[in-house]
Chain A
Amino acid sequence: MLELRNLRLARGARELIRDLGIKLFAGETCVVLGSNGVGKSTLLMTLAGLHAAKEGSILVGGVELACMGSRQRSRLLAWCGDLPADEFGLTVRDRLDLAAEACEESRLLEAARRFDLLDLLDRDMAGLSAGERQRCELAALMLRDVPVWLLDEPCAHLDLRHQKDALSLIREQKALGRLVVVVLHDLVQAACVADRVLLLDGNGGWRFDEAGRLLRREVLEPLYQARLSSCGQGKGHQVLIPDFS
């Protein structure tokens, strides 16, 4: 479904990712983890065709991403990243409409209902809180009929209930055969959804493996330079929480 070959990403003179070569398949969820500034969002934007890699290639369904036009890319990949601009008075309904051209009203309402946006449909996006706008982005994502979702911190700004909704949405994609690549900071959330994990160290290095092998204290403590505690098992692997004491 998504193949990365010798991908090299850099920010100025600093090499973020070196020779990244992995294959991701339909129906799996890959969680990207790493500290701030290691290139997680840059990687996701590169996968979405919004940022150019220094070297290497990305294949989506066997076709090179660099050879695709914007429209063709948008039929294969959905990117959910930073919150959209809101200076021009778009409403929540407008935002959802733009996510899918000629979308049926019932689908739009279902997406809005799922993220508690029904009462906000005619509200100006500028008048929403960051959490409400994030919910709007997730609802818009639901309307994108594409095989690959690329999500950059989808639970950012959300309260606990809506974090759960967002994670449920990600888990449901497995049954639909959709590949989800998601950047997360919360290790509990990562343990809830990850099939495989990509760890980035920010110096060009990376590790890619089954979630159970990488979501471990001895792997993650050096990566984050923070102490972690185990608080049970989730989806067959350790659930780790940071020790803030």
Chain B
Amino acid sequence: MRAWWYWLLLVLLMLMLGLAGLGIGEKWINPFSPGNGVEQTILWELRWPRLLTAFAVGGLLALAGAWFQVLLGNPLAEPYVLGVAGSASVGAVSSLMIWSASTVAMSLGAFAGAWLGIFVVMRFARLGTSGMLLAGVVLAAFWAAVLALLLALLPERGLYQAFSWMMGNLSHSDVPVSLLLVSWALALAAGIWLAHALDCLLLGPRHAESLGVNVGLLRQRLLWLASAVTALAVTAAGTIGFVGLVVPHVMRLLFGSRHARMLPATALGGGMLLVLSDTVARTIVAPAELPVGVLTAMIGVPVFLWLLVHRRGRA
């Protein structure tokens, strides 16, 4: 019964955040009846795409986080655990060095970098989850070193753009909103399709296998799915931390661990956290903008810690 209240709360929050995201800004706009042509342009060409991008990217990151946690059997896993964020950053900054100030080139570079990172880490998949996790951590350190080298060589005018991208930025996403929303829906559908197998995997690989799950195939699917989703999210918005780590845990605390219930809540919750963070990030020091990754951590972490203490205390 409590779950229904949480669902109702989630939907109401989503509507409120959506309206706030559309209305609040340097200029207040009534989302239901924008006034003049300028307001309509701001609403339809700037705020709606940005809001939907934030929602889809947040949802994708949260889903990827939930999958990586189950795949690696590690509650501390998050979408960037295997070094995808590092390789994407290397790709983005490399493209900045070659084609300075081109956001399209940066996105393409990030996408190529993310997939390069995925292909490298896939080479270690046969080592099992702990081996792959270790390889991912070491590779992340490697990409961080390469990134530091590139940043040292980057001309000064490119540094702001690079740092802005690396800390997460939704203001100049070049990935079509429709592609992000379709990916969000497909990722969620795939998650629900795999929900029972994922539930079984929570018990550990042997128990899952004895319950009829082909664990090898499931892990392979999850690895590709989570990696592809992460690559898309990083390409669209840079590296945004904490959404993929915090949201799945919050939703497990509220909705339980069964994935048929928890994954839809995670996809919505991740989207909502990023919409909220982005709305605050672009308005709190307007006309300047804060990096959205800073806000996701500042909002997500206290909420997570409060829930953790509250729920554990009650148990």
Q: Contact at A98–B199, with CB atoms within 8 Å?
A: yes
Chain A residues with Cβ below 8 Å from B131 are none
The minimal Cβ–Cβ distance linking B105 to chain A, given in whole angstroms, is 41
Chain A residues with Cβ below 8 Å from B258 are 94, 97
The minimal Cβ–Cβ distance linking A198 to chain B, given in whole angstroms, is 21
Q: Contact at A45–B206, with CB atoms within 8 Å?
A: yes
Size of B's binding interface in residues, CB under 8 A:
26
Closest to A70 in B: B214
Q: Contact at A101–B196, with CB atoms within 8 Å?
A: yes
Chain A residues with Cβ below 8 Å from B203 are 84-85, 90, 95, 98
Q: Contact at A74–B257, with CB atoms within 8 Å?
A: no
The minimal Cβ–Cβ distance linking A223 to chain B, given in whole angstroms, is 28
User: Chain A contact residues: over half helix, strand or loop, or mixed?
Assistant: mixed
Binary B-proximity of A69-91 (CB < 8 A = 1, otherwise 0): 11101110111011011011111
Q: Contact at B256–A89, with CB atoms within 8 Å?
A: yes
Q: Contact at B315–A127, with CB atoms within 8 Å?
A: yes
**Interface window among B9-17, B22-30, B69-77, B150-158:** B69-77
Binary A-proximity of B175-213 (CB < 8 A = 1, otherwise 0): 000000000000000000000100110111011011111
**A123 in the interface (beta carbon within 8 A):** yes
Chain B residues with Cβ below 8 Å from A88 are 69-70, 75, 202, 252, 257
Q: Given A91-B256, A101-B196 in contact, is the A85-B212 Cβ separation under 8 Å? A: no
Q: Contact at B206–A123, with CB atoms within 8 Å?
A: no
Chain B residues with Cβ below 8 Å from A84 are 203-204, 207
**A153 in the interface (beta carbon within 8 A):** no
Q: Contact at B213–A70, with CB atoms within 8 Å?
A: yes
**B42 in the interface (beta carbon within 8 A):** no
Chain A residues with Cβ below 8 Å from B210 are 48, 50, 73-74, 77-79
**A169 in the interface (beta carbon within 8 A):** no
**A99 in the interface (beta carbon within 8 A):** yes
Chain A residues with Cβ below 8 Å from B75 are 87-88
A38 to B215, CA, bound (A): 27
**B253 in the interface (beta carbon within 8 A):** yes
**A124 in the interface (beta carbon within 8 A):** yes
Binary A-proximity of B245-285 (CB < 8 A = 1, otherwise 0): 00000001100111000000000000000000000000000
Chain B residues with Cβ below 8 Å from A97 are 258
Q: Contact at A90–B212, with CB atoms within 8 Å?
A: no
**A49 in the interface (beta carbon within 8 A):** yes
Chain A residues with Cβ below 8 Å from B212 are 70-71, 73-75
Q: Contact at B211–A69, with CB atoms within 8 Å?
A: no
The minimal Cβ–Cβ distance linking A14 to chain B, given in whole angstroms, is 22
Chain A residues with Cβ below 8 Å from B207 are 81, 84-85
Closest to B196 in A: A101
Q: Contact at A87–B211, with CB atoms within 8 Å?
A: no
Q: Given A50-B206, A84-B204, A88-B69 in contact, is the A94-B211 Cβ separation under 8 Å? A: no
Q: Contact at B253–A89, with CB atoms within 8 Å?
A: yes
From B196, B209, B211, B252, residue with most partner A Cβ within 10 Å? B211
A74 to B257, CA, bound (A): 23
A99 to B199, CA, bound (A): 11
Chain A residues with Cβ below 8 Å from B252 are 88-89
Q: Given A84-B203, A88-B70 in contact, is the A49-B209 Cβ separation under 8 Å? A: yes
Q: Contact at A85–B204, with CB atoms within 8 Å?
A: yes
Binary B-proximity of A109-148 (CB < 8 A = 1, otherwise 0): 0000000000000011001000000000000000000000
Q: Given A84-B204, A85-B203 in contact, is the A70-B209 Cβ separation under 8 Å? A: yes
From B70, B75, B207, B258, residue with most partner A Cβ within 10 Å? B207
Chain B residues with Cβ below 8 Å from A78 are 210
Closest to B258 in A: A94
Chain A residues with Cβ below 8 Å from B200 are 98
Contact of A74 among B196, B202, B211 (CB under 8 A): B211
Q: Contact at B206–A82, with CB atoms within 8 Å?
A: yes
Chain B residues with Cβ below 8 Å from A48 are 210
Chain A interface residues toward B at CB < 8 A = 45, 48-50, 69-71, 73-75, 77-79, 81-82, 84-85, 87-91, 94-95, 97-99, 101, 123-124, 127
Chain B interface residues toward A at CB < 8 A = 69-70, 73-75, 196, 199-200, 202-204, 206-207, 209-215, 252-253, 256-258, 315
Known contacts A81-B206, A87-B75; can you find 5 more A-B pairs with CB under 8 A?
A81-B207, A85-B73, A88-B257, A90-B199, A91-B256
CB-defined A-B contacts under 8 Å, sample of 5: A73-B210, A77-B210, A82-B206, A89-B256, A91-B257
